[in-house]
Structure 1
Amino acid sequence: MYDAIPLDEIRARQEAIRASFGQRGLDAILVVGRSFYDRVGDLAYVSNHFPPFPATVFAGGQRGLGHALLLIPASGPSALLLDGWAYRREMVAADEVEASPDLPALLVAVLKRRGLGGARVGLVGEDILPLAMARALGDALPALELRRADEVVRAMRRIKSPAEQSLLRRAADIAGSGLDAAVGALRGAGAGQAEQLTERAVCAEGIARAMREGADFVRYLRVHAGSWSAVGSRWPQATERPIAPGEVVTLDIIGAYQGYQFDVLRTTVAGPPDVRPAPAHRRLLEAVLEAARRAVAACRPGTPCRDVVQAANGYLEAQGYGPFARTFMGHGIGLETVEEPYLTPDDPTPLAPGMVLCVEPGVYVPDGQAAPGGPPGPVGASIEEEVLVTEGDPEVLTRFPAQLWE
């Protein structure tokens, strides 16, 4: 079964974009997208196309692989420009589709054919348009005026429609299934298994479960134990390092379901259920858990992003963890893992119903330092919830338990 956003909804987005042209003085909008697991959000939102090829070096006649473009003119048919024919026509919302391994040359040809060679074109995706493609446009169409127009699409993307919310709920459930399998593997640490449990073995169990439950892909399941829990590094996602009972372990799973992302993080201790956290580790885990609860409770309409951060970090500071609390404390999520708004101490953006956020307060104590009452570093903990802002109480989309220790 293909459970996706209805194409009529996507076409309605295109019409809403066209309606903004007059006030912006635009003749067309050009939306840039990159590989499905990378920066596809703007393009997928307005076309439902997910470029399947990895973004690749420009060489010879192969220029622009791993990219795609949607041209929406003020009048006339929309055009989806692809790096090749690897797509399903019934799944995309575009009036016309053209493909070429030389994407800059195709774009130039289409703009000329449409009489837009000297037009005012709003660019959505300035930060990912390859410089080589921009140069090709400038050389071939010197009268073309590209104007930054990211906000045309991204303001719409911040508020998730009911259909998007449904997909994000399912994605969060898949993330929970993957974490459940990973935690199940951790419960075997030190339980007499034939071989020592490793980060990689835990990672494999979680990814396999998430894929069986319907994930498009799992970008990574970060399994970091002991001193690695303090690093927050995404690479490598897991190693052959043995996991000992009682060690603090962070589990961070990221992937997608029907294009809509999941990003859920949990921290616990390894070992059978009768293994308890050391007192200093328990204090850390429970402080982060309470900080997450307070941040989630703050996710209400009109609340500035910075106040969500303060709700968590103010509590952590009172517990003595202030110097070690993370300041980038979350982000929006949707067709990309990290979307606007960003939860940072200086972001005044007010929350609005329909926003979906990843709220992830954390504490990372470096080597040689310790909070009052411990634990000494290096050690870290974070708990991440996916939250839908509603007119009333926030809805926590992640139903997998946040407290995984006794």
Structure 2
Amino acid sequence: MLDTQRLPTTFYTALQDDLRGELTRLGLDAILADDPSDVAYLTGFFHHPGERPVAVLLPVNGSTRLLLPELEREHAEAQHTMAELVAYPEFPGLHPPFTYLDRVAGRIGYAGSMSVDRLAEVTTAFPGATLVRTDLLTRTRLRKRPEEIALHTEAARITDLMLAAGRTLIEDALAAGGDLPSEAELAGHITGVGTHTMYAEHADVVVVSPLAGGLVYAGPNSARPHALPSGYRLRPGDVFMLSLGCAVGGRFVEGERTFILGEPTAEQRRYYEAVRQAQQIGGEALRPGVPCAQANKECLDVIRTAGLAEFLRHRQGHGIGLGMHEPPWLSDGDDTPLAVGMIVSNEPGIYVPGHGGYRISDSMLITEDGARPFTAYPRSLDDVVVAL
């Protein structure tokens, strides 16, 4: 059992100190971040974003400050937020929220995710500052620290439990001789298993969205990569996909498996094996120094060589961290070199209209000699066939 899902104060102290060094190197006097995941990354404060601004100001000299509405103060204190709290009464209020921060001069970095309106508010509040767009936080978040990797590892364990729970629900229904579950019933059951496990076994659960669960689709519905669970009830012969994941301490993992309900046809075997081989080759391509686009090509070329290129709909994968989808992108057009400590999904898939979809995904940690999956649910065809 985890004593807590929250990272220790030493994590934030080291992170903030490292960022101050990078700011100095870049000729910046501070960095301002208002993206909720950046706020959580820098300070440990997780919140439900709304119209009331929440932002972190991290200067080279001086303490890190968290701007937040007064109604969030106790919430931040309860999370042992690693920043000096600067609260404003309400929004919009008599004074603009950013004016409650001490005025900062010099060059202030901000992320490209900041809205145009928010940037204008900051510019007005800090008339003596020059606002400079920077990707510093994006680059820093690419490589996970050991404390984060431990959280991802636990998220993977729970994701594997959810995959097994989905299969068990179907096998139990078959054994009972009743109706098979619908996509929505499967999704609800799996989500319940994930969240129950987390609250039963962890202290200080960090609540993010989604905390646990994912997409469930079967038969022709699974040919749409991001279809939402429906009332469709599984049938013998269906291909069905469990596209699952969860977040522990706000750190995500995804694990996806495609199952076949009954003895596979020759067509189903062909489709499944092409994707399985692509995922294996794709995993082997994930090595430090390899550009993301190259790994993507090596992975998807397996499917193209199998004569199934017409059924490709997406890239090999994407980065994972405080977001389920974040840089780097295992795709054409992203030449970011993979590096030790990055976490990416390896999830090639094909989607055959009117028939079904096939996708296998593991979250992978880039290591010094390659990559290793966090998720461990078996991937061979025999392991994903549910006998009738």
Calculate the TM-score normalised by the size of structure 2.
Answer: 0.88
1:158 Cα deviation from its structure 2 partner: 1.1
Quote the residue 2:156 is aligned against: 172
Structure 2 residue matching 1:252: 3-state secondary structure = strand
The C-alpha deviation readout for 1:353-376, integer Å capped at 9, x for no partner, is: 11111110011123xxxxxxxxxx
Cα 1:278–1:188 change in 2 (3 A) is farther
Query: Once the two structures are aligned, what percentage of the paired residues are identical?
Result: 28
Cα 1:101–1:278 change in 2 (3 A) is farther
Query: Does the alignment pair 1:262 with 2:253?
Result: yes
Task: Name the one with the larger helix percent.
Answer: 2
Determine the C-alpha separation between the residues in 1 that align with 2:173 and 2:295. Answer: 36
The C-alpha deviation readout for 1:79-130, integer Å capped at 9, x for no partner, is: 11123222234522113443543388232221xxx331x5421113x32x34
Structure 1 residue matching 2:31: 3-state secondary structure = strand
1:347 Cα deviation from its structure 2 partner: 2.1
Cα 1:248–1:363 change in 2 (3 A) is same
Structure 2 residue matching 1:19: 3-state secondary structure = helix
Gaps of 5+ in 2: 200-206
Quote the residue 1:50 is aligned against: 46
Considering only aligned residues, what root-mean-square deviation do their CA atoms show, in Å? 2.2
The C-alpha deviation readout for 1:306-344, integer Å capped at 9, x for no partner, is: 222122211111111122224422111111111211000
Gaps of 5+ in 1: 35-39, 367-376
The C-alpha deviation readout for 1:275-333, integer Å capped at 9, x for no partner, is: 21222112111111111111111111111112221222111111111222244221111
2:17 is aligned, of 15, 18, 23, to 15
Query: Does the alignment pair 1:160 with 2:144?
Result: yes
The C-alpha deviation readout for 1:213-271, integer Å capped at 9, x for no partner, is: 2174535421111111110124x3x111111022011111133111111211111123x
Cα 1:266–1:341 change in 2 (3 A) is same
Q: Number of aligned pairs?
A: 367
Quote the residue 1:374 is aligned against: none
Determine the C-alpha separation between the residues in 2 that align with 1:188 and 1:276. Answer: 18
- Contact between 1:231 and 1:364, CA under 8 Å: does it hold in 2? yes
1:391 is aligned, of 368, 371, 381, to 368
Query: Does the alignment pair 1:87 with 2:73?
Result: no
Task: Map residues 59-98 of structure 1 onto 2, 5 A cutoff.
Answer: 63-64=52-53, 68-83=54-69, 84-85=72-73, 86-89=75-78, 91-98=80-87
Determine the C-alpha separation between the residues in 1 that align with 2:126 and 2:5. Answer: 41
The C-alpha deviation readout for 1:163-187, integer Å capped at 9, x for no partner, is: 1111111111111111111111233
Cα 1:134–1:357 change in 2 (3 A) is same
321-330 or 311-320: which moved more? Answer: 321-330
Task: Map residues 92-241 of structure 1 onto 2, 5 A cutoff.
Answer: 92-102=81-91, 105-110=96-101, 114-116=102-104, 118-124=105-111, 126-127=112-113, 129-149=114-134, 151-188=135-172, 190-214=174-198, 216=207, 217-218=210-211, 220-234=213-227, 236=228, 238-241=229-232
The C-alpha deviation readout for 1:26-58, integer Å capped at 9, x for no partner, is: 221111123xxxxx1x2222111111x2x33x4
1:26 is aligned, of 25, 28, 31, to 28
Query: Does the alignment pair 1:363 with 2:350?
Result: yes
Determine the C-alpha separation between the residues in 2 that align with 1:98 and 1:298. Answer: 48
Quote the residue 2:292 is aligned against: 305
1:251 is aligned, of 229, 242, 248, to 242
Quote the residue 1:371 is aligned against: none
Structure 2 residue matching 1:302: 3-state secondary structure = coil
Return the letter of the residue paired with 2:215.
Answer: R
Task: Map residues 347-358 of structure 1 onto 2, 5 A cutoff.
Answer: 347-358=334-345
Determine the C-alpha separation between the residues in 2 that align with 1:73 and 1:153. Answer: 14
Quote the residue 1:321 is aligned against: 308
